[in-house]
Amino acid sequence: MTTKDSKNIDFFWRKYKQDTCKENFDKLIEIYTPLVNKIANIYYKKVFISGISLDDCIQYGFVGLIESIKNYNIDKGSNFDIYASLRIKGSILNSAHTFSEFSNYYHWKRKLESQHNNAMSQSIVKLNLETIINITIDLGIKYFLSNDFECFIVSSENSINNTSKIDAPLAVSIYRAIESLDEILKHIIIHHYLLDESFQEIADTLSYSKARVSQLHNIAICEIRSKFLSPNKYTFV
């Protein structure tokens, strides 16, 4: 997204905040319709549920988008695309639950976890104490991104107290660390962990090789880790 596009979108958000009329609401729906279509296509292909069509996924996705627009607080400064993506994804998967038990989807999630763990293991050169510590931190970050981060983003718009099982300071630090990454690294982290895209799918989008995406994924995790190890930046507590 260009700076000009961001300014235009911010204008429409401010306009909607001042007047939540149907015209302003519909404009935001129009702006984020491509996001709904993209996510619906991703999960239509991955969930493989008999009886659910792409149009169904899109309609469920719009339910998530509508909820996102109504609940989003622009003054908090959080990233709407990330927030809305998770609600759209959740709406599609929760609705799809009436058709299936998600066996194919969870199989896909296990494949992704195996993929990013393999990427990390391939980057190990020697196992000294510093390396072991870094690996432990990296595994913790990846576990959090894979299992808890989505819940934190969705619920934090309402109340941080709703995430009692989540380390809130850690969640905030990781969120800010991701926001500070350059656009390519941020894209890889968001699309891999929050939108469940494989390295190959990300590579196809970015016109990179799968190996290059794997390498950049490791760089992004290392940069997130460095935020915690720097006394002048974010900490675990």
The residue behind tokens 């007047």 is 19
Report pLDDT for 157. 47
Residue 106 has pLDDT above 80, yes or no: no
Q: How many CB atoms lie within 10 A of CB 115?
A: 16
What does each C-alpha distance from 80 to 84, 104, 148 come to in angstroms? 6, 29, 18
Whole-angstrom Cα distance, residue 59 to residue 95?
A: 10
- pTM equals 0.59
For the chain, give the percent of residues with pLDDT over 90: 24
Residue 164 has pLDDT above 50, yes or no: no
78: enclosing H helix or E strand: none
Whole-angstrom Cα distance, residue 207 to residue 114?
A: 23
For the chain, give the percent of residues with pLDDT over 70: 60
Reduced to 3 states, what is the DSSP secondary structure of residue 228?
Answer: helix
219: enclosing H helix or E strand: helix 210-229
- 207-219 average pLDDT score: 92
Whole-angstrom Cα distance, residue 174 to residue 228?
A: 9
Whole-angstrom Cα distance, residue 31 to residue 6?
A: 11
Tell me the CB-side half-sphere exposure of residue 152, using CA atoms within 13 A: 20
Determine contact, residues 82/153, Cβ cutoff 8 Å.
yes
Q: Which has the closest alpha carbon to 137: 214, 213, 229, 199?
A: 229
